[in-house]
């Protein structure tokens, strides 16, 4: 349980906000829970909700809104490809389909070696550089995009990037 294992951290987070607004602590508490559990299960969301006075459904709404929170387990790295409309119009869906095939997975699937889980992501603010994807892992979040509209990122380049990360 977070409260027992990270009492000082939880207390410090809650102390940032007036007692009547402790619900405002939901995001840093979710971050702490995700760091501890690897993803945010229904139990973890309920735990965070109990700490900051929010219903588990409200916590789940926050988790569902942000691509940096995860409600299911994954491989070592999450490869999140933007398939939102502007990127789709620039070939993101075909890019994703080919990359999924090369990796041998479906959407939300994890490669056999456990390295990569491929997920959709909504707009990451690089619509003019589609195809674009981001990788989330223990070291943070990393963005990869086309050099220009004339030089779209290729699946071969994406595979080079992924292969370069393996074992690290
Ligand atoms: S729609 Fe993909 S980055 Fe904006």
Question: For ligand 1, is residue 87 a contact (CB within 6 Å)?
Answer: yes
Alpha helices in 90-135 (DSSP H): 92-103
How long is the chain? 168
Given a cut of 90, is residue 60 above it in pLDDT? yes
Whole-prediction pTM: 0.84
Q: Which of 89, 130, 134, 141 to mutate to test the pocket of ligand 1 (most atoms within 8 A of CB)?
A: 130
Span 113-168, pLDDT tens digits: 999 999 999 999 999 999 999 999 888 899 999 998 889 999 999 999 999 998 77
Question: For ligand 1, is residue 93 a contact (CB within 6 Å)?
Answer: no
Q: What tokens appear for 17 in the block?
A: 């906000």
* 150 vs 109: which has the higher pLDDT: 109
Q: Which of 121, 123, 144 to mutate to test the pocket of ligand 1 (most atoms within 8 A of CB)?
A: 123
Question: For ligand 1, is residue 82 a contact (CB within 6 Å)?
Answer: yes
Q: Domains plus CATH for the chain?
A: 2-65 (1.10.10.1590), 77-165 (3.40.30.10)
Residues paired with residue 118 on neighbouring β-strands, in sequence order: 79
Say how far apart CA 2 and CA 5 lie, in whole Å. Answer: 5
Cβ atoms of residues 36 and 70 within 8 Å? no
Question: For ligand 1, is residue 86 a contact (CB within 6 Å)?
Answer: yes
Place of tokens 């290729």: 154
| 91 Cα–ligand 1 center, Å | 11
Q: What tokens appear for 49 in the block?
A: 């909700």
Q: What pLDDT score does 40 carry?
A: 97
Give one DSSP letter per residue of 100-142, joined into a string: HHHHT--TT-B-TTSSEEEEEE---S-GGG-SEEEEEETTEEE
């Amino acid at each position: 349980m977070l409260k027992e294992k990270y009492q000082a951290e939880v207390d410090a987070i809650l102390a940032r906000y007036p007692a009547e607004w402790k619900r405002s602590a939901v995001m840093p508490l979710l971050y702490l829970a995700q760091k501890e559990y690897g993803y945010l299960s229904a139990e973890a969301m309920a735990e965070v909700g109990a700490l900051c006075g929010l219903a588990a459904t409200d916590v789940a709404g926050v988790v569902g809104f942000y691509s940096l929170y995860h409600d299911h387990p994954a491989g070592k790295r999450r490869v999140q490809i933007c398939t939102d409309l502007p990127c789709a119009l620039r070939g993101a869906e075909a890019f994703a389909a080919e990359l999924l095939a090369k990796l041998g997975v479906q959407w939300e699937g994890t490669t056999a070696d456990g390295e990569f889980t491929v997920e959709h992501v909504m707009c990451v603010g690089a619509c003019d550089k589609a195809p674009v994807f981001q990788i989330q892992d223990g070291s943070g979040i990393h963005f990869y995009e086309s050099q220009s509209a004339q030089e779209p990122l290729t699946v071969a380049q994406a595979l080079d990037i992924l292969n370069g990360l393996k074992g690290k």
